[in-house]
Amino acid sequence: MQISDFELKQADGSSESLANYNGKVLLIVNTASKCGFTPQYEGLEELYRDYNDQGFEILAFPCNQFGKQEPGDAEEIKNFCTLNYDVSFPLMGKIDVNGKDADPLWEFLKEEKGGLLGSRIKWNFTKFLVDREGNVVARHGPAVKPEQLKDDIEALL
């Protein structure tokens, strides 16, 4: 199984193949609008604007599994992110990252890079960095700010 084998659930309910992102460096993040880490949207947007033209993409997956901190529907989430953080990177459909209904992509990411609590995602804004060949090269916990990833991203670009 490779990362390009997975389908992304779009905010409008459609799906898109991750193969469309072949050759790009990816930062895959589970997000929430009402979380103490929500201001990281600002840093994520800065990374996106700095590196997108060099082949860098951010895929944000809203998730309501942690403290019910992402209660809105796709339209509410998009409006919040646009109005408050001027987010221009893709916001996917809301998913689960843990448990029996966990999104298959997130099951794969957790298998590739376990965390301090084993494979489970412990909170919102867990970040996975994927190289141009589709290898999951790093996992960063919620406390790691997006700007702390610049050197890793630059090395992969």
Among residues 35, 63, 77, 130, the one annotated as catalytic is 35
Written as one letter, the residue type at 81 is C
CB atoms within 10 A of CB 32: 26
Helix runs in the chain, H state only? 40-51, 74-85, 104-112, 150-156
Instruction: Identify whether 35 is a catalytic site residue.
Output: yes
Helix count and strand count (H, E) for the chain? 4, 6
Contact (CB, 8 A) for 150 and 47: yes
Residues noted as catalytic: 35
